[in-house]
Amino acid sequence: MPSLSPDLQNLLYIIASVFFVFGIKMLGKPESARNGNAVSALGMLIAIITALLSEQIIHWQWIVVGLAAGSIIGALAARLVAMTAMPEMVALFNGFGGIASLLVGWAEFQKIYSAGGLMSASYYQIFIILLTVLIGGVTFSGSLIAWGKLSGTVPSRPIQYRGQRIVNGILVLLIIGFFIVLTGRLDFTGLENYTHFVVIAALALLFGVLFVIPIGGGDMPVVISLLNSYSGMAACAAGFVINNNVLIVSGALVGSSGIILTTIMCKAMNRSLTNVLFSGFGSVSASAQGEGFQGEAKAISVDDAYYVLEAAKNILIVPGYGMAVAQAQHAVQELATLLEKNDAEVNFAIHPVAGRMPGHMNVLLAEANVPYEKLKEMDDVNPQIGNVDVAVVIGANDVVNPAARTVESSPIYGMPVINVDKARTVIVLKRSLNPGFAGIDNPLFFNENTRMLFGDAKATVQGLVAEFKN
Amino acid sequence: MDIRLVFILVLATFLGFELISKVPSQLHTPLMSGSNAISGITIVGALLSLVGSFSVEGNVMRIILGTMAVTFATINVVGGYLVTDRMLRMFVKKEKK
C-alpha cells in the first residue's frame, strides 16, 4: 500500500486534533457529553489510521498482536468493572498511558543505540527522550500505587517513615545527576550508556512509588487528577521525541485539564497541592489534636429512623465514600423514591471531594437512576439547609464535619463542608464511631440533633426500605 | 529542535485550560476518563516505532518495546473510551425520563 505524504499525514493529524478539541468541549455539557466522547474517539481512529499509513509496514504481525491484545483487555476491563470500582480503573488506565509513553521513549533510544553510532542524536533529542521516560515512569508506578490504595491491595493510609524527605531528595538528585550525565553524551554505542538509561527508567519508577505512598486514600481525588495530567504530559513529551504535533496537542489538552481538576479538588479541601502531596494528611493521630470531642452519641434504631423519615417533608441525602464501599447506591435510590411517594422532597447534596475521585458520587447515583436534577452541589445546598427536616448522611464523614467551620485547631479547619448540623435532625449512617480516613474527630456525631444509625449502609438502607414497604 | 512544536504546546495548553474550566462537577469523572483516553494518543508514537522497514536481526528489543507500547496504549484508548461511554450512557438515560 502506498504511504501517505508527510503533508497529508500532518493534515490528518490536525483533523484528529480538531476532533479532540471538539470532543473535550462537548464532554463539558451533559446533553452533548456522550457524543463528545464519540467525536474524540473518531479523532483517535483517524490518528491511528494515519500512523499506520505513514510508512511501509514490514512487521505488521507485531502491530496486530499489540492492537488485538490491547483491544480485548481494554474492552473487557471497561465492560466488567463495577461502577464503584471506577476510581481504580481510571487510575490503572492512566498508568497504562504512562508506561506506553515510557516505552515509546525507550524504543526511540533503542533505535539510536542499535544504529551503533551510525545515527547521530542531538543533546535535545536525548534530553527529551529521558524526560518522556521520566514522566511516563512516574505516571505508571504512581498510578499503580494509587490503584492499589483504591482497591485495598495497598494500605490506603499514608505510609510515612523517618527521613522520608531525605530519601526523596537523594532520589531526585540521583535522577538529575544521571540525566545530566547521559544528556551530555551523544555517542550511545557502549553498554554503559544503556545501563545508565535503564537506571534512569528504574529511578523514575521508584520515584512514582515514593511519591504516592505517603498520600492517604481520602486525598486520592487530587492524586488521580494529577496523574491524569501527568499521563497527558508524558504523551506530550513523547510527541517531542517523535516530532509529532497530534501527540503534543492532545497531550497538552489532557495535561491542562488534569491540572484544572487538581486545582478544583484542592480548593474543595481548602488545602494547597503541596500540603496534599507532602503532609501525609491522615497520619495525624487523634491525640495530636488535643482535647477531642467528648460526649455521648445518641444511637437510633432502624424502626425509629423510619418514623423520623416518615414524618419529614424535606429530606437531604449526603452520600460519601462509605456508600460506595457498601455498594448502597441502588438501595439509596429505592429509599429516595419511597420517600418521595410519601410526599417528601428529596435531594442529594454532593461534596466535590466525596468519594475517591472527582464526581465519584454522581457516577454511582447516575448508575442507580437517581435523576440528574436531584443532585445538588454544596454551594446550592448550604444556604437553604435550615429548611431541611432530616439530613441523612450515608458513609460521609469529613465532608460534613462542622469542626471545619468552628474548631481552628482541627486539621480540616477552613475546608468547605456541607452544613448538615444546621438541619433540624441529622441521621448518620455509619459502621462505628471511628473517625474517618483523616483520623479527625467529628463533633457532628455528638450533637443534640444527631442520631447515629450504626451498621452496614446497604443493610441499613434496605431495612428502611422494607419498613416503608410495609 | 523545532521551535514550532513549542508554539503548538503553549497554544494547546491555553486551549485546554479554556475548554475545561467550566465543567459542572457532575461530569468530572467522565471528563477525567474521557481525557484519559485521549492521553492514549501515545499509541501513534507506539505504532510509529513499529512501522517502517527494518530487519528483525539487531532490532528484537525494539520490536518487543514497540509491541508492548502498542498493547498498553491500546488498553488505554479502547478501555478509556468504552468506560467513559458506559458512564455517559447512564447520564443520558435519565435525561430522557
The predicted-structure confidence for A280-317, as pLDDT tens digits, reads as follows 665 544 334 444 555 677 888 888 889 888 888 999 99
Share of chain B above pLDDT 70, in %: 93
Q: 3-state class of A32 per DSSP?
A: coil
CA dihedral A40, A46, A51, A56 (to 10 degrees): 160
Average pLDDT, chain B: 87
pLDDT, residue A131, reads 94
pLDDT, residue A215, reads 86
Residue ranges of alpha helices (H) inside A184-301 are 191-212, 220-241, 245-268, 273-278
The model carries a pTM of 0.87
- Structural domain harbouring B57: 24-96
With CA atoms as reference, report the closest residue to A205 among A177, A166, A247, A174.
A174
Question: Which comes out higher in pLDDT, residue A82 or B69?
Answer: B69
Domain count, chain B: 1
Question: Which comes out higher in pLDDT, residue B25 or A167?
Answer: A167
B32 in any annotated domain: yes
Chosen from B23, B28, B42 to mutate, greatest number of chain A CBs within 10 A:
B42
pLDDT digits (tens, 9 = 90+) for A374-391: 888 888 889 989 889 999
Q: What is the average pLDDT across A217-236?
A: 91
Joined grid coordinates for residue A282: 491522615
B4 in any annotated domain: no
CA–CA separation, B52 and B73 (whole Å): 19
Q: What is the average pLDDT across B2-28?
A: 87
| Domain A290-469 CATH (choose: 3.20.20.70, 3.50.50.60, 3.40.50.2020, 3.40.50.1220) | 3.40.50.1220
pLDDT digits (tens, 9 = 90+) for A35-88: 999 999 999 999 999 999 998 888 889 999 999 999 999 999 999 998 888 888
pLDDT, residue A318, reads 93
B96 touches chain A (CB under 8 A): no
CA–CA separation, A455 and A443 (whole Å): 19
Place of cell 467550566: B22
B3 in any annotated domain: no
Interface of B with A in 13-72 (CB under 8 A): 13-17, 19-54, 56, 58-59, 61-63, 65-72
Q: What is the average pLDDT across A215-240?
A: 91
Average pLDDT, chain A: 87
pLDDT, residue A281, reads 63
The pLDDT confidence band at residue B70, using thresholds 50, 70 and 90, is very high
Question: Which comes out higher in pLDDT, residue A294 or B6?
Answer: B6
Chosen from A44, A129, A244, A264 to mutate, greatest number of chain B CBs within 10 A:
A44
Residues in chain A: 470
Position B62 pLDDT exceeds 60: yes
B8 touches chain A (CB under 8 A): yes
Domain boundaries, chain A: 81-278, 290-469
Nearest CB to A253: which of B16, B24, B50? B16
Position A121 pLDDT exceeds 80: no
pLDDT, residue B18, reads 87
B1 in any annotated domain: no
pLDDT, residue A13, reads 95
Q: What is the average pLDDT across B66-78?
A: 96
pLDDT digits (tens, 9 = 90+) for A412-466: 788 889 999 899 999 999 887 766 555 677 888 888 888 888 888 888 999 999 9
Position B47 pLDDT exceeds 90: yes
B38·A253 Cβ contact <8 A: yes
Share of chain A above pLDDT 90, in %: 41
B34·A124 Cβ contact <8 A: no
How far is C-alpha A343 from the geometric centre of its chain's CA atoms? Answer: 37
pLDDT, residue A290, reads 41
